[in-house]
Amino acid sequence: MTKRKFGLGLSLMLAAGMLAACGSDDDASTDTTTGDGGEGEATEETSDISVAMVTDVGGIDDKSFNQSAWEGIKSFGEENGLEEGDGYDYLQSTSDTDYNTNLNNLVRRDFDVVYGIGALMKGSVEEIASQQTDAQFAIIDEVVDLPNVASVMFKEQEGAFLAGVAAALMTETDKIGFVGGMEIPVIERFEAGFRAGVAAVDESIEVDVQYTGAFDKAELGKTTANLMYDTGADIVFHAAGGTGNGVFTEAKERKEAGEDVWVIGVDADQYEEGQIGDENVTLTSVLKGVEMAVVEIAEKTLAGEFPGGETTTYGLAEDGIGLADSRGAIPEDVMTQIEDYKQQIVDGEITVPETVE
């Protein structure tokens, strides 16, 4: 039987972007013309746009949120014949004190759209955009009500709900863990949706919720996961950026020791992060179309339609949220049940809560 693939529309859209990027070398051409003086002048046909992003503290290679955004920036840049550095680029933030400086630096470099990646950057984007009114900004996971800022939001709770359903149907211990980064609305939406999904299957299943207070501390993720697995959890869902890499490390070490434990990844398909020899600890991942959203804003800007002052929200219905292919880790009958819940959400029969309360 053919396995169902959730978030298929999202996956196809992301894949299309990458395929386009792979073909970009053929799309960009260089013409050499000879002037009256006989000297050749090379001109490269590229799109008249430049885009750049500022990461939050999770880092560009967090295998999750920031990395997804950068993949979108790269995909757009390569597809449109842009050069990394001048046409597209990023600046990495090591702490929140870097946000303002990095945003200002990119504005001074005259990028057409400057992205602030993550809810933690709201204050900085708001401040710099208020000062640099001729510049265009975009922010992911928050809303900045300014005419030169495009805001992007996601219904994380809907994807997390499906992850909760999967975890509840797959647990053997009736205890599941949730590791959050910082207690901010976007992560609380993940928690609320996940807990609601578990409860929809079986309210008696225990969900151990712990926040690490950081998105860039893999050691905290590992320690937290260790305690959860030690106290009976067999599946842990993380929404903690780079901190979540430690959850995978702990799970893989236990898998090597013969324990049957799982991790549910976040933002991107984290299957490769869970690979250990011929086995894998990734049950599935909650896909979040950050890459797709970044590209869409760039494309609108290129078309002269920068969505400043607007908020775009993606959920299951918009294929901006979904579950990654479990690659056989989740049986067909369980996948069918998850699909049923998904359709109820899309049809409006289930409204997933955004807060735990």
The CATH code of the domain that includes 106 is 3.40.50.2300
Asked whether residue 27 carries a pLDDT value surpassing 60, the answer given is no
- Supply the pLDDT for residue 64: 85
275 vs 296: CA distance, rounded Å: 32
Query: How many CB atoms are closer than 10 A to CB 5?
Result: 17
Asked whether residue 30 carries a pLDDT value surpassing 70, the answer given is no
Let me know whether 231 and 327 are in one domain: yes
Let me know whether 172 and 304 are in one domain: no
For the packed helices 65-79 and 290-302, what is the interaxial angle rounded to 10 degrees? 30
The answer to the question of residue 264 being in a domain is: yes
Amino acid at 264: I
Q: Which residues pair with 276 in a beta bridge?
A: 279
The answer to the question of residue 352 being in a domain is: no
The answer to the question of residue 333 being in a domain is: yes
Let me know whether 187 and 283 are in one domain: yes
Let me know whether 133 and 255 are in one domain: no
The answer to the question of residue 167 being in a domain is: yes
Let me know whether 70 and 143 are in one domain: yes
The answer to the question of residue 123 being in a domain is: yes
pLDDT tens digit string along 278-300?
Answer: 999 999 999 999 999 999 999 99
232 vs 333: CA distance, rounded Å: 25
Let me know whether 78 and 150 are in one domain: yes
For the packed helices 218-230 and 244-256, what is the interaxial angle rounded to 10 degrees? 50
Let me know whether 168 and 266 are in one domain: yes
- Supply the pLDDT for residue 151: 98
Let me know whether 166 and 227 are in one domain: yes
Provide the domain count of the chain. 2
99 vs 123: CA distance, rounded Å: 9
- Supply the pLDDT for residue 351: 98
The answer to the question of residue 31 being in a domain is: no
Let me know whether 336 and 224 are in one domain: yes
The answer to the question of residue 263 being in a domain is: yes
- Domain carrying residue 105: 49-155+290-314
102 vs 118: CA distance, rounded Å: 14
- pLDDT category at 62 given cuts 50, 70, 90 is confident
19 to 75, 78, 79, 272, 298: CA distances (angstroms): 9, 11, 9, 20, 17
H or E element that contains 288: strand 282-288
The answer to the question of residue 32 being in a domain is: no
94 to 85, 101, 122, 186, 216: CA distances (angstroms): 20, 12, 16, 21, 9
Which parts of the chain fold into alpha helices (H)? 8-22, 24-27, 65-79, 99-108, 122-131, 156-170, 185-201, 218-230, 244-256, 290-302, 332-346
- Supply the pLDDT for residue 101: 98
Return the SS3 of 329: coil
Let me know whether 250 and 336 are in one domain: yes
Buried b (16+ CB within 10 A) or exposed e, 279-296: ebbbbbbbbbbbbbbbbb
Let me know whether 190 and 221 are in one domain: yes
Let me know whether 197 and 295 are in one domain: no
pLDDT tens digit string along 252-281?
Answer: 999 999 999 999 999 999 999 999 999 999
